[in-house]
Chains A and B, each alone.
Chain A
Amino acid sequence: MKGGFRQSMAWLHTWTGLLLGWLLFAIFVTGTSAYFQEEITLWMTPEVRSVPADPASGFVAATEWLKREASDGSEWSIYSTGKRAAGLQLYWVNGPDAPADAPTSARLDGTGTRVFARETLGGWFLYRFHYDLHYINWYWARWLVGIAAMAMLVAILSGIVTHKKILADFFLLRFGKGQRSWLDAHNASSVLFLPFILMITYTGLVSLATHYMPWGIAANYADEGKFFDATSPWPVPGEKTGAAPLAPIGPMVERAEQAWGSAAGSVRILNPGDRSAQVIVSSAPDAGMSISLRSLTFDGVTGRPVGALDPSGAATVTEDTMIGIHAGRFASPWLRALYFLSGVAGCVMVASGLILWTVKRRARLSDPERPHFGFRLVEKLNIAAIAGLPFGMAVYFLANRLLPLGIAGRSDREIDTMFIAWGAVAIWALARPARRAWLETLSATALAFAAVPVVNALTTDRSLFTSLAAGDAVFAAFDGAMLLIAVGFGWAALKVARRQEGRVSSRRASAGAIPGVEAA
């Protein structure tokens, strides 16, 4: 019976992993990129120079800017773009006299000077894609992602049961041994990074828990809006009552930061320049492990505090801390690098698991030259997912530099370009024999990533050499990372090419070398 339980777990692991593996791979890749979403956005807006600046003085400079440019607005919002990307994003609501097409947002650099960046969603789009997907309604997308995450949790737990010798094989990673090597890579990437992989799957489910299980809210609040009003209130400006000067913002931000012992992240000003003015200072999302934001509300004329919000319920704090650990916004560079490395391990785990499905079954095919439909489908979808999405992302970065700056809906065109490229790889994979398609798509992906720094050097004045000379860490690291990823895909393409050379002999040899199937 013992073998029976392990075998049913192996079955569960194989099929939950396969069925949702392609979607999980996309979630892992884009989610991993999100650990550097600020940096990706900085690279994708080369017009913005990151000037190190003191956020507190940035809020003051931004308020002065809004006084000049949006003086009759009914609401101003100033967001610091975070400690990794000094800058400010402003939004405002114009007064009734403003023309309908008057601007309502602006980007300032760290010193409070306006910058005009190209229209792009940058790294934020990749972050959003990892749970809202694209082109389909976000409501159903989150259900799909949730089902994938649940399948992931099932696959992890059943995988642990299936993997007999988790401690005995802990350090094993053998290259050049066919199926054995794929199994080693699958085991190593999941076992060594098990804390991260368990955490990221579980907290990922928690972060959308109220989406999947709305009944707790439904039982206690009349509708979802009332729940969000209660947990994260969003006051709106009332009637204006007569002009009065706005008190200085600097001391309010300072007072809030002293009260929390951490940095402020945003300032909202309701009815600026009016007697009813209110200033709401909120803490920075990257200041602590929990994502719950604290805020202090000040009277906008006297500058005295009139209210405070400090979420402290045990359940809320637990949930918000879990989401905080998932997103890792609080992480310092070293921990961020570990988060990213762990994310890459997750991608390797999913990809090697998908490939293992075909490698295991190829040896058992009755006629390896003409595999059955199911086998071919999995093989082609593997290529479409594992080479296709990274290729699409490289093209997304290239499109950011190559699309004309003035075209309408530019940010959407960038995104469309990414999916067109991804789709092209999928069609290519369907049309070509699988082994040829692996070689061709992996090579194309390597070339596309290698092209990113080259095109960047040709289209901006911030080439890799300039960035290195100027000590511009974000740009230099981004270009360097592109080259590193290109080398990775090039290495994979080379491996495929070598295998094809000695195809017949190596297949016989590796099929003979496998002593038996040890795990799914």
Chain B
Amino acid sequence: MIHLLLFLFAFAGFAMLCAARDRHQRDLLGRKLRAGTAVRMRRGGLFLLLLAYPVAGLALGWGYGAVEWLGQLSGGALLTVLLLTHLSARGATGR
């Protein structure tokens, strides 16, 4: 359960970081965000990624938690990238 939670933190965190980017917003969200929203999105994403570490450490032990946290970050980032690739390819053919 904790593993899934950590994965969701990592995925949501990177998805928010990605959505905060000008060049990815249209692909990921279908619209442009206002500047203030993008900044909040970036801060929120970073916060989730960092928050996942103490959660992992408290639940799994600090050593094990650190290893799993880094692994989960990579997994979450990979899913974000694949999702973005998929959405932008669909957007390119749809437009």
Contact = CB atoms under 8 A, between A and B. Distances in A.
Nearest to A197: B74
Contact of B74 (A171, A192, A332): A192
A339 B64 contact: no
B74 A338 contact: yes
A377 B72 CA distance: 39
A339 B67 CA distance: 10
Nearest to B78: A192
A195 B63 contact: no
Contacts of B84: 171, 173
Contacts of B75: 338, 341
A347 to B, nearest CB: 14
Given A335-B67, A335-B68, A175 B74 contact: no
A199 B81 CA distance: 22
A171 B71 contact: no
A126 interface: no
B70 A171 contact: no
A188 B74 contact: no
Contacts of B78: 188, 192-193, 341, 345
Interface in A140-183: 170-175
A338 B81 CA distance: 17
Interface in A447-503: none
Contacts, number: 62
Interface residues of A, number: 25
A457 to B, nearest CB: 32
Given A171-B24, A325-B67, A195 B74 contact: yes
Nearest to B27: A171
B85 A335 contact: no
A197 B84 CA distance: 23
B3 interface: yes
Interface in B35-74: 63-64, 67-68, 70-74
A56 B27 CA distance: 56
A196 interface: yes
Nearest to B70: A195
A330 B85 contact: no
Contacts of A338: 68, 71-72, 74-75
A192 B68 contact: no
Interface in A295-341: 321, 325, 330-332, 334-335, 338-339, 341
Most buried by B among A173, A321, A331, A341: A173
A363 interface: no
B29 interface: no
Interface range, B side: 20 to 34
B73 A195 contact: yes
A171 B18 CA distance: 7
Nearest to A174: B85
B3 A334 contact: yes
Contacts of A174: 85, 88
B64 A289 contact: yes
A174 B88 CA distance: 9
Contacts of A173: 81-82, 84-85
A171 B67 contact: no
A171 B80 contact: yes
A342 interface: yes
Contacts of A342: 71, 74
A338 B74 CA distance: 8
Nearest to B84: A171
B77 interface: yes
Given A192-B74, A341-B75, A175 B64 contact: no
Contacts of A335: 3, 64, 67-68, 71
A175 B14 CA distance: 21
Contacts of A192: 74, 77-78, 81
A330 B64 contact: yes
Contacts of B67: 289, 325, 331, 335
Interface of B: 3, 14, 18, 21, 24, 63-64, 67-68, 70-75, 77-78, 80-82, 84-85, 88-89
